[in-house]
Amino acid sequence: MIDVIDLKKSFGKLEVLKGITTTIKEGEKVAIIGPSGSGKSTFLRCLNCLEDPTSGSIIFEGVDIADMRVDINIHRRHMGMVFQQFNLFNNKTVIENIMLAPVYLAIHDLRMKKLQNFFIRIKNAFSKHKTPLYEIDTTPQKIKEEARENALRLLRRIGLEEKADVYPSTLSGGQKQRIAIIRAMAMNPKVILFDEPTSALDPEMVGEVLDLIKQLADEGMTMVIVTHEMGFAREVATRVIFMDEGRIVEENTPQELFNNPQHPRTREFLSKVL
Ligand code: ADP
Ligand code: MG
């Protein structure tokens, strides 16, 4: 699904990613572990086009999204992202948070189709060969209704339907993060990237968030998750990547990586965190 080839990223003189090469297959659950400052977040941000790589390629479904010429919005909508700090819009209600991106994109698509039809009609008026018009079977009203239905269905799933119309500031950290996760799901992404989704939570809320991520994993969602929760990585990940100083030092099944680390730096890191 995603092929990363010799990905490099520098901020000024600081080279943060020094050539990352890996492949993420459909259905995989990849955990990324490693010391603070090793480039884990930068790597995820490059995957989701939140950072422009300095060099290298990220091939997502056959298209190099590191190439500045491609329309990243087309690809980004297939990748959900969940951040450590939830990143909910505090001036919008819970349901507005969930509906925002799907509605925005669907209305954008609708406008583009209408615009294209406008040009096709002009072209058809002057040409013997008639190009068929795009079929338009929706309206902004319908798009919003469908997005609301879908958002309510997702809220019901996590038992927070009654929070639909409240603002995020009234929620606990665990509730906020679960809403951030279903907000990502509302886009129907092909892969979800999680950047330390439980690191900002009080300990008693970690479980509810990990449980939801685990459910999505069991349903076959492809995911990449930067985490300090080694127990979770061991239980849920199909592969663990250990990063240090901008490189992948070692990657393996959780079984192998945790029980039989090959590289001295992996061993040193694991001895500190396990
Ligand atoms: P990790 O997530 O593994 O802790 P990060 O990817 O956040 O690591 O950061 C790796 C290094 O890149 C750090 O030294 C950090 O200070 C630096 N860095 C990250 N983002 C930026 C930025 N926007 N500008 C400058 N330096 C950055
Ligand atoms: Mg980070």
- Report the residue among 10, 14, 48, 273 best suited for mutation to probe ligand 1: largest number of ligand atoms under 8 A from its CB: 14
Ligand 1 atom at shortest distance from the alpha carbon of 196: 2
Q: How far, in Å, is the centroid of ligand 1 from the Cα of 153?
A: 37
**Domains of the chain, residue spans:** 2-89+172-271, 91-166
Q: What percent of the chain has pLDDT over 90?
A: 91
Q: What percent of the chain has pLDDT over 70?
A: 100
Who contacts 261 (Cβ-Cβ below 8 Å, separation ≥6)?
Answer: 242, 250, 267, 270
Most confident of 26-30, 57-61, 109-113: 26-30
Is residue 118 predicted with pLDDT exceeding 90? yes
CA-to-CA distance for 220 and 218, rounded, in angstroms? 5
Closest CA to 118 of 139, 134, 141, 107: 134
pLDDT number for residue 67: 81
Indicate whether this model's pTM tops 0.90. yes
Q: How confident is residue 1, by pLDDT bands cut at 50, 70 and 90?
A: very high
* Helix 140-157, helix 173-185: angle, nearest 10: 130
Is residue 274 predicted with pLDDT exceeding 90? no
In this structure, the residues whose C-beta lies within 6 A of any atom of ligand 1 are 11, 14, 16, 34, 36-42
Ligand 1 atom at shortest distance from the alpha carbon of 34: 3
Give, in order, the Cα–Cα distances in Å from 224 to each of 84, 120, 141: 14, 42, 35
Q: How far, in Å, is the centroid of ligand 1 from the Cα of 16?
A: 7
Q: Whose CA is nearest to atom 16 of ligand 1?
A: 37
Q: How confident is residue 202, by pLDDT bands cut at 50, 70 and 90?
A: very high
Is residue 181 predicted with pLDDT exceeding 80? yes
Q: How far, in Å, is the centroid of ligand 1 from the Cα of 57?
A: 20
Q: Whose CA is nearest to atom 6 of ligand 1?
A: 39
Q: How far, in Å, is the centroid of ligand 2 from the Cα of 225?
A: 11
Is residue 157 predicted with pLDDT exceeding 80? yes
Q: How far, in Å, is the centroid of ligand 1 from the Cα of 44?
A: 11
pLDDT number for residue 215: 97
Mean pLDDT of 148-152: 97
Is residue 73 predicted with pLDDT exceeding 90? no
Q: Whose CA is nearest to atom 5 of ligand 1?
A: 39
2-89+172-271 maps to which CATH number?
3.40.50.300
Ligand 1 atom at shortest distance from the alpha carbon of 43: 6
Q: How confident is residue 66, by pLDDT bands cut at 50, 70 and 90?
A: confident
Classified as helix, coil or strand, 41 is: helix
- Report the residue among 15, 17, 42 best suited for mutation to probe ligand 1: largest number of ligand atoms under 8 A from its CB: 42
Q: How far, in Å, is the centroid of ligand 1 from the Cα of 15?
A: 10
CA torsion through residues 234, 36, 57, 64, sign = positive
**How does DSSP assign 104-141, residue by residue?**
HHHHHHHHHHHHHHHHHHHHHHH-SSPPPPPP----HH
The mean pLDDT value of the chain amounts to: 95
Are 1 and 237 in contact by the 8 Å Cβ rule? The answer is no
